[in-house]
Amino acid sequence: MAYDKPLPVPNAESKPYWEGCKAHQLLLQTCDACGHAQLYPRSLCTQCQGESLSWRPSSGQGTVYSFTVVRRAPSQAFKQDLPYVIAIVEVEGGVRMMTNIIGCTPEEVQMGMPVRVVFDDVSQEISLPKFEPVK
Ligand SMILES: [Zn+2]
């Protein structure tokens, strides 16, 4: 069945990030000058305006910073997933990312819960980083 939810469209700055996801590796754009990691990817460091940025692999470990449970689908395509969790995960290495928590019920999700990245291969080009509880 065709994937009918919105998909990211990689651009020049985010292409390495999405290529990493496709290879099931979470990459963090990191400043060579000050070490700051940032998400979403940009052409400059948001801390020191440095232009030299590198892609470094993340451990993929993190903790739930905040979350909400979605019980009303924003479109038909999401109905089958209800209820589902949208969360902000604090990823080891210094970025927070919006994602889904999967692999458990919404009732099991807690702030501060340790999670690890898993990749959902939703199309030929795109794999979405999601997180599951560390058990
Ligand atoms: Zn910097």
Alpha-carbon separation of residue 34 from 25, 52, 53, 90 (angstroms): 23, 10, 10, 20
Q: What string of DSSP letters covers 49-84?
A: --S-EEEEE---EEEEEEEEEE-S-SSGGGGGG-SE
Question: How much is the pLDDT for 2?
Answer: 75
Number of independent structural domains in the chain: 1
Measured distance CA(9)–CA(126) in Å, rounded: 9
For range 84-98, the mean pLDDT: 97
Amino acid found at 56 = R
Q: Domain residues for 30?
A: 15-133
135: confidence class by pLDDT, cuts 50, 70, 90:
confident
In a domain, 61, yes or no: yes
Asked if the structure places residue 19 within a domain, the reply is: yes
pLDDT at position 1: 59
Q: Which residues contact 47 (CB under 8 A, 6 or more apart)?
A: 31, 34, 36, 38
Tell me if 2 is assigned to some domain. Answer: no
Ligand 1 centroid, distance to 82 Cα (angstroms): 40
Which comes out higher in pLDDT, residue 3 or 46?
A: 46
Strand arrangement of the beta sheet that strand 37-38 belongs to: 37-38, 27-31, 53-57
126-131 average pLDDT score:
98
| Residue 126 within any structural domain of the chain | yes
Distance CA(128)–CA(15), nearest Å, equals 13
The reply to whether 125 falls in a domain is: yes
Q: Mean pLDDT, the chain, as a whole number? A: 96
Residue 113 lies in a domain: yes
Domain membership flag for residue 106: yes
Distance 4 CA to ligand 1 centre (A): 38
Please state, in angstroms and rounded to a whole number, the distance separating the CA atoms of residues 44 and 51: 5
Per residue in 50-88, pLDDT (tens digit) is 999 999 999 999 999 999 999 999 999 999 999 999 999
Q: Distance, CA 123 to ligand 1 centroid (Å)? A: 34
Which stretches within 15-126 are classed as H helix?
Answer: 15-22
| Residue 4 falls inside a structural domain | no
